[in-house]
Amino acid sequence: MTSDERATPQAGTPADEPATATVVTPQKGSLPVWQETLLLLGIAVVLAVVIKAFLVQAFYIPSESMEPGLVTNDRILVQKWSYWSGAPERGDVVVFKDPGGWLGDDEKTGPSNAFTKALAKVGLFPSGGHLVKRVVGVEGDTVVCCDDEGRISVNGQPLDETGYVMNEAGVRCAGPMTGNCSWTAGPVPKGHVFVMGDNRAHSADSTVHMCVEGETDCAPGREFVDVDLVVGKVWVLLWPFDRFGGLDGGDAFDQVPDAQ
């Protein structure tokens, strides 16, 4: 072919055929939209159940016992991964199932209708029947109330709890629920924790379930919470949004020595 020759298509070749639109037909096995929607909803529910079981769960605060940090009807998120391979630590604010007789009837109330009950099952709505308290003593610890300044001691170390304990006029010490400011709890049994609310004068916590001197109708050991009942550690105050954030207090236990 010489330099001035051009390659031209011959008649009847595909180049002479007019362009036609390509029709795409659904492949066999594709789902209708309504089936895809149901499938996606099912996947979402399964993911929610997995997240609730292993990662995060929503709860609400049923009482005033954790004021000032947590107020009645606050919504919180509890994370579970901290206790996958360990137990709660001193200072942790934890949610746990009722050990039996700790909650009043008004505090056991959970979701009130079928829809919210279903959401609670998958962790998308706060559920009832749980308590939230601060871990004060762990396995082997001895908790004593109180020194001349009204402070609780753990293993002989007084705690500075001014950063999170409710400051109420007329409350003489940080452990008044027994009716006096002179009591001892522990050593905490293996696999258990001793818990207290931050609103020390209004908290049905471990101190309320102790056997105090002179009490006859009492079962020793009721004051300790089995760690198997602990759901998780409070991660964040979710609602109301103007108070969104974490909780303080863990550093108050930094100087506590290990139990002997």
Location of structure tokens 């916590």 = 205
Question: What is the rounded distance in angstroms from the CA atom of residue 38 to the CA atom of residue 128?
Answer: 29
Catalytic residue annotation: 65, 133
Question: What is the rounded distance in angstroms from the CA atom of residue 38 to the CA atom of residue 46?
Answer: 12
Q: Contact at 8 Å (CB) between 224 and 188? A: yes
Cis amide leading into 146 (omega within 30): yes
- Selection from 136, 107, 165 nearest residue 224 by Cα: 136
Q: Which amino acid is at 114?
A: A
